[in-house]
């Protein structure tokens, strides 16, 4: 025990160690707070944790791009590769922009922190709402796409795709409850297996294409488009919007910088470059080969499945390995959201825009409430949309591109501020320290250009996919911002009422007037009565008389067991209990002096088994619900355990 400078303050560290339980077996032994620095990860594990979403999107991004083009017939699918090139260029712009963000905001937080520090409260909440929505959709889309890969190989499981998807979400949730370091180590090997298999597929496909032995996909699924539409700019923009879903994980690393080992910014920046190089290469390779083999986008067989069996000449070992690897990486893409959603929600909760419970770390030093919330919401979404990637994709990407826009606009404004700051002057902002930067102009141009590009994509996506379901997100994000502001208003009002600044203490309470409701005379009543007598000499027992015979029995026992305390009997001709008691309390309340307070002592016996509670009236709970809104009244429950 350490004595502080103030002699009335003592410090002591508990020696209690959490005991082993089913939770320990399920998610691992509890970790001490001091273990937090040892739970950070390096670049290789970081690539698995934060990049699986972006890398896995090559499994559905090109396919969804081709779905939009297929509306105009098979011949239009040749445009998939040029559109993929445009998406790769956008990826390069985003990568350079976010690389600057990582070094400027080493504490992480991504678009939310950048917008908060540079654009203001409302833009920050818009960015937060957009990213939280995107993370939920990341889990739903990636898991549903993973299940689609399974169904492609095993069509008999098609009717069970929703159950499989929900089960996989719960599995990922459980792994993440074990901690970032352990979940990263768990997923690292499958991630790199997928990358190896994906590159083998693309390289083999390219070799066979240039040697003239690739051929066309055998027995492709039928093209189900209904009435063929003419090729228009609208269709091309819609295909581009679908394809940009491949870029949705680019911001993940900037959000999770604190999870990296020191030097954090350098490690995170390097990981971002690795991720972008891998994503761009696979995106272009898969789009190019899919066009060359005549792949047809379909719910019954994915484009990846068609490419793999064409490149490998059938459904042999390498084909099955690729399908399994793709399924695993798509499942692990959800892990990126599970790594970032809890961190972002904790940041917003710390700023009082989400429930404070989201800031609490669980036994494994992860934000357990955020992880559980994400799993529940994503599971509901999968159930509602029947694990269909095509149905979910219109909701996807618009949120993240909105956050891209706000992040880059915020960074551009930050560089402008840095450029107009005198050398040697520092300004401490909530998320970083602002200093003069000689290269502010070209950095501002990079982020400003990135903001304009992503804004255009956001508008295109909202316009092209509005009728297909994007309208839900367009309505949802402002609604979430409204909810965030309501939560913030509640916490602000609460803080203003609880603050000690300019607070004048009220008159010290020197006398308690104790009221104890009594329904019958038993051991619990006697125990509560004796406790009440220790609080004050002014104790009044109150019995609401509903049954005259029971009242007579109580009065007879009171003579022997009442400890000399006065008993007031309130006759209730309409057999009401709470109303007469509250009326009596009101009469006492109006007679209180400034140095007096009322304490209600409620005897409550506790049954041996919790289910026995349904057999009793639970008077204490009823009184608590009614009286908690009253001032100058304290409710004390005196339990009596029944064994």
Looking at 106-110, 154-158, 228-232, which range is the least confident one?
A: 106-110
Question: Is there a domain that residue 397 lies in?
Answer: yes
Q: Considering the domain boundaries, does residue 353 fall inside one? A: no
The half-sphere exposure of 72 on its side-chain side, counting CA atoms within 13 A, is 19
Q: Strand, helix or coil at 3?
A: strand
Q: Is residue 181 pLDDT above 60, yes or no?
A: no
Across 327-356, average pLDDT = 85
511-517 and 566-571 strand pairing: unpaired
Same domain, residue pair 310 and 432: yes
Contact predicate 461/393, CB 8 Å? no
Average pLDDT over residues 319-328: 86
Question: Is it the case that residue 179 has pLDDT exceeding 70?
Answer: no
Q: Which range in 48-52, 389-393, 415-419 is most confidently predicted, on average pLDDT?
A: 415-419
If asked whether residues 552 and 410 sit together in one domain, one would say no
CB atoms within 10 A of CB 157: 14
| Residue 481 sits in the same domain as residue 622 | no
What does the pLDDT read at residue 36?
Answer: 47
454 and 552, same structural domain? no
Task: Give the C-alpha separation, 510 to 153, whole Å.
Answer: 78
Q: Please give the average per-residue pLDDT across 399-425, as a whole number.
A: 89
Q: pLDDT band for position 32 (50/70/90)?
A: low
Same domain, 455 and 540: no
Q: Give the structural domain span for 324.
A: 40-156+189-336+387-488
- Quick one: average pLDDT of 256-266? 83
At residue 67, does pLDDT exceed 90?
A: no
**What pLDDT is recorded for position 523?**
86
Residue 24 has pLDDT above 80, yes or no: no
- Determine contact, residues 229/71, Cβ cutoff 8 Å: yes
Residue 372 covered by a domain:
no
The answer to whether residues 623 and 523 belong to one domain is yes
Whether residue 515 is predicted with pLDDT greater than 80 in this model: the reply is: yes
Give the model's pLDDT for residue 469: 74
Is residue 397 located within the same domain as residue 540? no
**4 lies in a domain?**
no
pLDDT tens across 91-127, in order? 998 888 888 888 888 877 678 889 999 999 999 999 9
**CATH number of the domain residue 145 falls in:** 1.20.1740.10
User: pLDDT above 90 covers what percent of the chain?
Assistant: 23
Which residue, 488, 520, 550, sits at the end of a domain?
488
Last residue of a domain, one of 488, 519, 536: 488
Q: Give residue-wise pLDDT tens across range 305-322.
A: 899 999 998 888 899 899
Which comes out higher in pLDDT, residue 158 or 487? 487
With a CB cutoff of 8 Å and minimum separation 6, the contacts of 80 are 62, 65, 66, 69, 239, 287, 290, 291
pLDDT at 85 over 90: yes
Looking at per-residue confidence, does 224 or 605 come out higher? 605
- Rounded CA gap, 516 and 525, in Å? 9
Q: Do 461 and 522 fall within a single domain? A: no
The pLDDT of residue 564 is above 60 = yes
- Give the model's pLDDT for residue 19: 58
Spatial distance between the Cα atoms of 209 and 202, rounded to a whole number of angstroms: 10
Q: Is 39 exposed, middle or buried (0-12, 13-18, 19+ CB in 10 A)?
A: middle
Which residues make Cβ contacts (< 8 Å) with residue 281, sequence separation at least 6? 199, 202
Amino acid 50: pLDDT: 79
**3-state class of 598 per DSSP?**
strand
Residue with more model confidence, 579 or 373: 373
Q: Is residue 121 part of a domain?
A: yes
Taking residues 272-299, report their average pLDDT. Answer: 91
- pLDDT at res. 213: 92
pLDDT at 28: 57
Residue 25 confidence (pLDDT): 55
Structural domain count of the chain: 2
Q: What is the structure's pLDDT at 226?
A: 61
Nearest to 533 by CA among 547, 549, 516: 516
First to last CA, the chain: 38
Q: What is the mean pLDDT of residues 496-523?
A: 81
Q: Which of 488, 521, 555 is the C-terminal boundary of a domain?
A: 488
| CB distance 126 to 276 below 8 Å | no
Per-residue confidence (pLDDT) for residue 373, from 0 to 100: 93
Q: Is residue 266 domain-shared with residue 306, that is, in the same domain?
A: yes
Does residue 341 form part of some domain? Answer: no
Confidence band, pLDDT 50/70/90 cuts, at residue 376: very high
Residue 3 clears pLDDT 60, i.e. is over it: no
Q: Is 328 a domain residue?
A: yes
For the residues 7-17, what does the mean pLDDT come to?
67
Q: Are residues 546 and 414 in the same domain?
A: no
pLDDT at 516: 92
pLDDT higher at 350 or 21: 350
Number of continuous H segments (helices) and E segments (strands) in the chain = 22, 9
Please check the confidence at residue 177 and state whether its pLDDT lies above 60: yes
450 lies in the same domain as 522 = no
Question: If you average pLDDT over residues 74-96, what whole number do you get?
Answer: 89
Question: Looking at the domain assignment, is residue 502 inside a domain?
Answer: no
Range in 318-322, 619-623, 629-633 the model is least confident about: 619-623
Residues 211, 96 share a domain = yes
Q: Could you tell me the CATH number of the domain that includes residue 629?
A: 3.40.50.620
Whole-number average pLDDT of the chain: 83
Judged against a pLDDT cut of 90, whether residue 206 lies above it is answered with yes
Over residues 13-28, the mean pLDDT reads 59
pLDDT digits (tens, 9 = 90+) for 442-462: 889 988 988 898 888 888 878
Q: What is the DSSP string of 181-220?
A: HHHHHHHHHHHHHHHHHHHHHHHHHHHHHHTT-----SSP
Burial zone of 343 (CB within 10 Å; 0-12 exposed, 13-18 middle, 19+ buried): buried
Mean pLDDT of 374-401: 83
């Amino acid at each position: 025990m350490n004595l502080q400078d103030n002699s009335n303050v003592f410090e002591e560290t508990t020696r209690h160690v959490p005991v082993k339980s089913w939770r320990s077996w399920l998610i691992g032994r509890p970790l001490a707070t001091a273990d937090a620095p040892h739970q950070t990860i390096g670049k290789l594990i970081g690539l698995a944790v934060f990049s699986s979403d972006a890398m896995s999107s090559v499994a559905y991004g090109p396919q969804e791009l081709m779905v939009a083009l297929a509306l105009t017939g098979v011949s239009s699918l040749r445009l998939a590769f040029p559109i993929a090139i445009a998406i790769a260029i956008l990826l390069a712009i985003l990568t350079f922009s976010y690389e600057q963000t990582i070094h400027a905001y080493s504490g992480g937080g991504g678009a939310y922190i950048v917008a908060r520090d540079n654009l203001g409260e409302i833009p920050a909440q818009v960015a937060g709402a957009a990213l939280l929505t995107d993370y939920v959709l990341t889990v739903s889309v990636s898991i549903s796409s993973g299940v689609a890969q399974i169904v492609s190989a095993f069509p008999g499981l098609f009717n069970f795709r929703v159950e499989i998807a929900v089960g996989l979400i719960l599995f990922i949730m459980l792994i993440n409850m074990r901690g970032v370091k352990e979940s990263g180590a768990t997923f690292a090997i499958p991630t790199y297996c997928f990358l190896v298999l994906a590159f083998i597929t693309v390289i083999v496909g390219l070799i066979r294409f240039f040697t003239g032995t690739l051929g066309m996909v055998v027995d492709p699924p039928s093209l189900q488009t209904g009435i063929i539409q003419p090729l228009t700019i609208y269709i091309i923009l819609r295909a581009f919007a679908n394809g940009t879903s491949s870029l949705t994980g680019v911001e993940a690393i900037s959000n999770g910088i604190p999870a990296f080992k020191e030097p954090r910014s350098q490690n995170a920046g390097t990981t971002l470059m690795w991720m972008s190089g891998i994503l761009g290469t696979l995106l272009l390779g898969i789009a190019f080969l899919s066009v060359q083999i005549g792949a047809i986008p379909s719910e019954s067989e994915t484009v990846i499945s068609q490419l793999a069996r064409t490149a490998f000449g059938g459904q042999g070992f390498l084909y099955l390995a690729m399908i399994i690897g793709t399924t695993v990486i798509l499942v692990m893409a959800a892990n990126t959201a599970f790594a970032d959603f809890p961190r972002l929600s904790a940041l917003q909760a710390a700023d009082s825009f989400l429930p404070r419970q989201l800031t609490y770390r669980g036994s494994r030093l992860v934000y357990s409430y955020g992880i559980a919330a994400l799993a529940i919401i994503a599971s509901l979404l999968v159930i509602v949309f029947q694990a269909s990637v095509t149905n979910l994709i219109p909701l996807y990407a618009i949120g993240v591109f909105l956050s891209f826009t706000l992040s880059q606009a915020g960074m551009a404004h930050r560089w402008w501020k840095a450029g107009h700051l005198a050398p040697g002057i520092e300004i401490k902002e909530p998320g970083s320290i602002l200093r003069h930067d000689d290269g502010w102009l070209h950095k501002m141009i990079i982020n400003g250009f990135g903001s304009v590009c992503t804004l255009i994509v956001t508008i295109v996506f909202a316009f092209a996919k509005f009728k297909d379901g994007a309208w839900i997100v367009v309505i949802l994000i402002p609604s979430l911002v409204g909810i965030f502001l309501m939560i913030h208003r509640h916490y602000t009002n609460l803080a203003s009422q609880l603050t000690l600044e300019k607070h004048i203490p009220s008159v010290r309470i020197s006398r308690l007037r104790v009221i104890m409701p009594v329904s019958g005379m038993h051991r619990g009543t006697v125990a509560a009565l004796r406790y009440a007598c220790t609080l004050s000499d002014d104790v009044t027992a109150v019995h609401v008389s509903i049954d005259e015979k029971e009242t007579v029995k109580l009065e007879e026992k009171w003579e022997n067991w009442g400890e000399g305390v006065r008993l007031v009997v309130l006759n209730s001709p309409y057999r009401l209990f709470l109303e007469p008691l509250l009326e009596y309390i009101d009469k006492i309340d109006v007679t209180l002096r400034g140095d007096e307070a009322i304490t209600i002592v409620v005897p409550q016996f506790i049954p041996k088994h919790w289910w026995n509670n349904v057999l009793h009236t639970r008077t204490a709970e009823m009184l608590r619900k009614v009286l908690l809104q009253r001032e100058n009244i304290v409710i004390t429950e005196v339990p009596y355990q029944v064994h």
